[in-house]
Amino acid sequence: MWSRGLLQQVVRHASNIRQAGVLFDVDGVLLRGGSVIPAAPRALRKLVDRNNKFLFPVVFVTNAGSCLRHHKAQQLSHLLGLQITPEQVVLSHSPLQMMKSFHNKCVLVSGQGPVTQIAHILGFQKIVTIEQLSEQHPLLDMVDHSRRPTSTPCSSQILPQIQAIILLGEPVRWETNLQLLIDVLLSNGRPGCVYGTQMLAQMPVLACNMDLLWMADAPSPRFGHGIFLLCLESVYKKLTGRDLEYAAVLGKPSLLTYQYAEQLLRQQNQNHKLSTIYAVGDNLMTDIYGANLYNRYLAKHHSKMMSGTKLVAQGTGTQTVMAEEELAFAAQCRSILVCTGVYNPDSPLPGDQNVSDMMLHGCKHLKLEPDLLEPSHVVEDVEAAVDLMLQQESSNT
């Protein structure tokens, strides 16, 4: 158990040098569906001072994406009884903010919730939704007989050619989205036209949240956006013989998401470099794989920087460059797996056999490395994860 006084001592000491930061996954770690996991409030209380201010930089990184950042912050604040700001929340689509080269293209967004508002806040200027497309081309969506047009419709609204697709999250009517996305891909952005006969370059597809499963209130995990993407990839492959290529994959385990989350942690640390990032999650394939991948990226970055720094030091004899460059990245990222969500130590799911197949879907640019599925620590719940982190930090002071 940690007394507040001892904890503050740890933090005071840490703040003089380099501070640790924490990344919390949400579903299966702090919440399950709409319910708070009992260990969560106890864990967070250990990380705040008497005024409920966080003692360490803390960011909540979730692969959820069917909502706005400030709504997620409000929901977390309400459920967890603490003030959590939008700047402490990373949703699967948040890093799209950094991908400015797509912001002035006409993008088709697929998902549910306020997708137009989400895309607009992220910086996109020309946004078309699946609903708009379906309205403009009512002959395309034929699965539900009750929604088929009874006469040949004439469309008044002319939508521009689609130049890129953004898959924000799982839609509600999968058959509609699958059909229209395929239509857009095979007609090169003009779904009212007949499919092209020539194999043109595939238009850019940006996909957020590759989670196959997630933990809600039901006893077993539920389908995530990754299962929808699996369907889309299978249909595309079946019809074209080609693999669906992603221009970017966002959300855990992608590096982009961790880079973005670290930026937010650093902002809470007055832009000072962090010592260790502790990433707490319940999913081996996203939270643990992602944190370990990022740890390896940090290690590579530092070793490259060390060799680069030596050259600089030899050439100029100055230490200033090293000090400035060192500001950028944390020294390491430790992965902590909890047993309150998708991962169940008694009946691990998915089985090891399936892990590689499931991971590799859609992440063809990522070569699966089973070593990265090994968490730095396995603990019972998020309170045990926080205790572990505080213990490690105290032994470093």
Which of the ranges 27-35, 101-109, 250-258, 306-314 carries the binding residues for Mg ion, by CB under 5 A?
Answer: 27-35
Work out whether 170 is an interface residue with Mg ion (CB under 5 A): no
What type of residue sits at position 367?
A: K
Do the beta carbons of residue 74 and residue 82 sit within 8 Å?
Answer: no
Q: Which residues make Cβ contacts (< 8 Å) with residue 244, sequence separation at least 6?
A: 185, 202, 205, 232, 233, 236, 237, 362
Q: What residues from 218 to 277 belong to the interface with Mg ion (CB under 5 A)?
A: none
Q: Which residues make Cβ contacts (< 8 Å) with residue 131, sequence separation at least 6?
A: none
Q: How far is the CB of 53 from Mg ion (least distance, A)?
A: 26
Q: How far is the CB of 282 from Mg ion (least distance, A)?
A: 4
Which of the ranges 90-98, 279-287, 328-336, 365-373 carries the binding residues for Mg ion, by CB under 5 A?
Answer: 279-287
Work out whether 282 is an interface residue with Mg ion (CB under 5 A): yes
Cβ-closest position to Mg ion: 28
- Full DSSP string of 84-100: --GGGEE-TTGGGGG-G
Number of residues written out for the chain? 397
Q: What residues from 28 to 67 belong to the interface with Mg ion (CB under 5 A)?
A: 28
Q: List the one residue from 24, 27, 162, 180 that touches Mg ion (CB under 5 A).
A: 27
Cα torsion through 333, 338, 344, 345, rounded to 10: 80
Q: Which is nearer to Mg ion, 27 or 170 (CB)?
A: 27
Q: Which is nearer to Mg ion, 27 or 393 (CB)?
A: 27
Q: How far is the CB of 217 from Mg ion (least distance, A)?
A: 14
Q: Which is nearer to Mg ion, 252 or 266 (CB)?
A: 252
Distance CA 129, CA 91 (A): 20
Distance CA 250, CA 162 (A): 21
Q: List the one residue from 7, 25, 93, 251 that touches Mg ion (CB under 5 A).
A: 25
Q: Which is nearer to Mg ion, 25 or 141 (CB)?
A: 25
Do the beta carbons of residue 64 and residue 92 sit within 8 Å?
Answer: yes
Residues in the site for Mg ion, rule: CB under 5 A? 25, 27-28, 282-283
